[in-house]
Amino acid sequence: MSDTLGARVDEQKRPPVVEFDDEERPARVLSGWAERLVAVATFAVAILALWQVFRPLAQGSQYYLVIFLAGTLPTIFLAYGSGLRFLDRRNRPGMVDWLLAAVALAVCLYPVAPMTIGSGGGGYDAFLDRQGLLDPVDVAVGTVVLALVLEACRRTTGWVLPAVCLVFLAYGYYGGLLPQEWSLAHAGLDFGQIIDALFNSGSGFYGTPLDVAATYIVLFTLYGAVLEFSGAAQFFVDLSVAAFRRSRSAAGRTAVASGFLLGTVSGSGTATAVSVGAVTWPILRRAGYPPEQAGGMLAAAGVGAILSPPTLGVAAFIVAEYLEVSYVTVLGWALIPTLLYYLGILLAVEIDARRLGTEPVEIGGASAGRLLLRFGYHFLSLIAIVVLLLIGVSATRAVVYATALAFVLAFFDARTRAAARSPRLVFAMIGSGVRSALPVVAVCAAAGVITAMTTKTGLGAQLAALLVRAAKALSDNHTVVLACTVALAAVALALLGLAVPVTASFIIGWAIIGPALLALDVPAPAAAMFVFYYSVLSEVTPPTALAAVGAAAITGGRTVPTMWQALKYALPAFLVPIVFVLTGPGEYLLGRGPVLGILWTTVVACVGVAALAAATGGWIPGIGPAPLAARVLAAVGGLTLLYLAPAALIVGACALVTAAGITLLSQRRTT
């Protein structure tokens, strides 16, 4: 462990490299003046975000968002290449990048610039006074901001999300030309109205998505950077490796435990899968896991990072903002689903260890007890976040206090103490926290286009009505209509997640799917968490499955089979969200309801998840390999148990008993 920590401190002494996760493309490795400028800009943004927590700007939150975007948008053009070979230079910005950064800085500061520019400008108050009646200068500047936001999003995430934004813009402009008897037609917006909605309102660029990025995400990425700096992230992985020894399933348990512990501070599925895979793949290989099987396990464990308290993913903060609840409330909703998710993975690991005949692996190094005694203090900052949230401290202040505590804990070890005393390394560490949030900022600013067009045209309600009407065309029964709507919504969200990042997928899904579920009397928390989970699960859904792609790159396995293995491990996560919205007791799985109701639904759901793991793995725990008939019955039993109705519980229990009996008879015949 000491050697590991020493190596990590040596890494900290090298120039920081911008990390990337499931919502971004690789950034440049800058040097020279470009690196210095980006470092200063990101450090300044971090200080601004911290200042806003304790001394909010008197002009209001939108004024802060204007300054925040002016500090981050130009930085994106320097930190990320265009992807066009004739424009990009190796690891340094070209003339076009510098020009775009300068223009971005000017137009982003335009709303707060005190000078008069033609008939526009005049300061922030004057800019707000022109809301709904923008000056031509305002429209021109807003158009440039729109183009730059879409280009920044393209550089960090690819073409798909900017293309989706252009479709929404086209709908806003041309929707008035549609036949008015069509349900999707609207009165129409002229170009000035569109720019006004984007540039000078609370639903466009400076709407809820960017607000979440500027007030929560930056602080949590800064917290993650400090944990990495202090050696906590490596400790979590080392602890998982040391915790399981000498059993045939120890290697798989190590990978899952590492994904959970590292994911609690990562909030990124792909990054967690890759980080854990780099450490645990050699162990999995020695145990006898095929590359595809190991990659699927790593991907599923990594995606759990976006589902695991206390950080969850970006979309969870947006859930809290949209529903106007505290972030700790959303954490409470996620507790039982996270338990079910990792229960399914662990059961699948145990089954695979027996089915594949994996071997015990002797893992050297310090024992888990010694690691906990020596470095267990790294858990204190995580505990501090939870305690502070429970006693009513805001999420922003809680994470700032936890970040400060994590930095202080860096002094508890001699090897990290040297780095913590270095102003240059601390400066770089603070800036790296903002750098890792730049792609999320681009996505959230671009998502403002979608929310603004949805709000101005009423598109969300119209599409929701179409979805419900399509379900009602199949039946008049409310339960059947709800089931069909949920199935259509799940497919739509899965397809949407293939094309756009998780954050954008949730924002679009909530605008379209959310109203449909609410119209069918689904409680808002259940509807929001349903959309959240299916947005996240695109990370393990073929044919994109970014977490599986990253894991396959580590293990050297074939990409598509790795995706299917990841899907198998993550199966409970696809089914449990349906329980939220399809049945009344399903809401108990969000921790909403009487204590006894929460307990019995959790127990039944655990049995259902175990049955599904047995069906997909082909093994009945405690008995042995399951024949096809037993696997089918186990699947039927698991699905019916998750419906949580009394009749379904009886049918499910009978199916599971029958499956166990068939497997037992099969084993006796084989013997």
pTM assigned to the model: 0.80
Q: Is 530 exposed, middle or buried (0-12, 13-18, 19+ CB in 10 A)?
A: buried
Predicted confidence at residue 625, as pLDDT, reads 87
CB 345 within 8 A of CB 337: no
CB 415 within 8 A of CB 2: yes
Instruction: Tell me how far apart the alpha carbons of residues 488 and 516 are, in angstroms, rounded to a whole number.
Output: 11
Predicted confidence at residue 248, as pLDDT, reads 67
> How wide is the angle at C-alpha 609 spanned by C-alphas 606 and 612, nearest 5°?
155
Q: Which two tokens stand for residue 344?
A: 């399914």
Task: Report the b/e string of 330-369 with b at 16+ CB within 10 A.
Answer: bbbbbebbbebbbbbbbbbbbbbbebeebebbebeebebe
Mean pLDDT of the chain: 83
Predicted confidence at residue 543, as pLDDT, reads 64
Predicted confidence at residue 141, as pLDDT, reads 92
Predicted confidence at residue 405, as pLDDT, reads 92
> With 90 as the cut, is the pLDDT of residue 74 above it?
yes
Give, as one character, the DSSP assignment of residue 108. Answer: H
DSSP letters for 152-163: HHHHHH-SHHHH
pLDDT tens per residue, range 426-453 = 898 898 888 888 988 998 899 889 888 8
> With 90 as the cut, is the pLDDT of residue 363 above it?
no
pLDDT tens per residue, range 454-491 = 888 888 778 888 888 887 777 777 888 888 888 888 88
**CA 5 from centroid of its chain's CA atoms:** 28
Average pLDDT of the segment spanning 335-355? 86
Percent of the chain, pLDDT > 90?
19
> With 50 as the cut, is the pLDDT of residue 223 above it?
yes
Residue in 176, 165, 187, 213 with CA at minimum distance from that of residue 23: 213
**CA 577 from centroid of its chain's CA atoms:** 16
Specify the higher pLDDT residue, 153 or 186: 153
Predicted confidence at residue 580, as pLDDT, reads 85
Task: Report the b/e string of 381-407 with b at 16+ CB within 10 A.
Answer: bbebbeebbeeebebbebbbbbbebbb
- Residue 260 banded pLDDT, cuts 50, 70, 90: confident
The strand pairing partners of 619, in sequence order, are: 625
DSSP letters for 25-69: PPPP---HHHHHHHHHHHHHHHHHHHHHHHS--TT-HHHHHHHHH
Specify the higher pLDDT residue, 81 or 22: 81
Specify the higher pLDDT residue, 47 or 539: 47
Predicted confidence at residue 268, as pLDDT, reads 65
Predicted confidence at residue 1, as pLDDT, reads 38
Q: Is 518 exposed, middle or buried (0-12, 13-18, 19+ CB in 10 A)?
A: middle
Predicted confidence at residue 499, as pLDDT, reads 63
CB 446 within 8 A of CB 153: yes
Least confident interval from 61-70, 311-320, 493-502: 493-502
Predicted confidence at residue 37, as pLDDT, reads 92
